[in-house]
Structure 1
Amino acid sequence: MADRPAFVYVTFIQATPERVWHALTDADVTAEYWAEHCNVSDWQVGSAWEHRRTDGSGIVDLVGTVLETLPPKRLVITRAGPNEERPGGPGRITFDIEPHGDIVRLTVTHENLTDHDEHVSVSAGWPSVLANLKTLLETGHVLPQGPWEMYAEMRAARMALNDPK
C-alpha cells in the first residue's frame, strides 16, 4: 500500500472518546452527519459494514469489512464499491481517537486509494463529513448546508472555466 495514494485528516472535537466512538458507529447518528447515508454494522472484527442510503431505497453505495475495533480508541475498516474489483485491494480507513483533557483528536487515515482522482474525491469528502460530525457533537446539530455542496459548486465552476466552448 505504500506506493498508493493516501489521505490523512486530523480534527479536534470537544467531546469524550466515547461520544466520538458512538458517533462513528451508531447508524442513526451517522445518518445525521453523512446526510443521505448511514453506516451500518455490528462493528465486530470480521463483520461487514455498509454505507447505506437513508432515502428508504436500501441502496448500498460502499461496503467493507471491520478489520480492527478497540472502543473508544481505534476503528479500522476496508472500503470499496459493492462488487468493485480493485486491483490493489479495497481502501483502508483508520479512525484513531485520542483524548486530551476535554477534547479529542480524531485522525482519519484513508489508505490504498486507487489513483489521483480518488485522492481528490476523498480530500474533499472527508473534511466535509468530519466538519459535520464535529459540529454535531459540539452543538447538537449539523451544519446548515452540506459542506460537500460547496466543493461540488467550486468544481463545476472550475470545469466551466476550463471548457473551451
Structure 2
Amino acid sequence: MDKFERPRLSALGALKRRAEEAVTDKPSFVYVTYIASTPEKVWEALTDADLTAAYWGHRNESDWRPGSRWAHVRTDGSGVEDVVGRVVESKPPTRLVATWAAPAEEDREDRHSRVTFEIQPYEDIVRLTVVHEDLNDEGERSQVGAGWPAVLSNLKSLLETGRTLPQEPWLVPSP
C-alpha cells in the first residue's frame, strides 16, 4: 500500500465506522432550510405558543426547560393535544431537542420519536436543520416528510415577510 494512500484509507474507514454506528432500524427525516433572520427570532418562532399558532395552526406550549412536558395544542379552543412530548435539551437560541408522540402513547417511550432543531447563524441568515428520528415506521416517515416542509415553509415566510403563506401549505394535495 502506498504511503500516500494510508491516510485517505484510514479516514474512509473511520467515516464508514461512524456511519455504521449511526444506523438504526428506525426511519428518520432531515430537512434543512435557510432563513433571513436571527437565531433568536427563529428560536422564538419555535417556542412561542402564539407564533407557532400563526404559522403551524397549533400552539406549542411548554416552558422549554429540559424534562418539561410540551404539547401541540389545537387553536380552535378545544384544548385538544395532537402531539405531546418532553423537552430533552434546550440551548437557546441554537438547539432544541424534544420527544414526539401521540397523546395516547405518551406513556409508551418505545413509541416516541425525537425531533432536533439546530439553529446555525451565518452572517445575515440562519440555517435551520430539523432532524426527526426514531420514527416508528415508513408510514410515519412519509407523514413527517410531508408535514415538516409545509410547516417550515410557513415559518420561513412569516419570519422573512411578516406573513404566513396565503394558504395552509399542508393542505396542498400530493401529486
- Structure 2 length-normalised TM: 0.84
Displaced runs of 4 or more, over 4 A: none
Deviations 1:64-90 (A, max 9, x none): 000000000000000001121657341
Partner of 2:138: 116
Partner of 1:49: 70
Structure 2 residues not aligned, in runs of 5+: 1-22
Residue from 53, 59, 64 that aligns with 1:31: 53
Letter in 1 for 2:69: A
Q: CA separation in 1, counterparts of 2:146 and 2:108?
A: 21
Of all paired residues, the percent bearing the same amino acid is 59
- Structure 1 length-normalised TM: 0.89
SS at match of 2:156: helix
Q: CA separation in 2, counterparts of 1:86 and 1:4?
A: 16
Q: How does 1:53-72 map to 2 (within 5 A)?
A: 53-72=74-93
Deviation at 1:112, TM superposition (A): 0.5
Decide whether the 8 Å contact of 1:50 with 1:63 is kept in 2.
Answer: yes
Q: Which structure has the highest helix share of the two?
A: 2
Deviation at 1:147, TM superposition (A): 1.0
Deviations 1:75-118 (A, max 9, x none): 00000011216573410000000000000000000001010110
SS at match of 1:135: helix
Partner of 2:30: 8
1:154 paired with 2:174, answer: yes
Distance of aligned partners of 1:87 and 1:28 in 2 relative to their CA distance in 1, 3 Å threshold:
closer
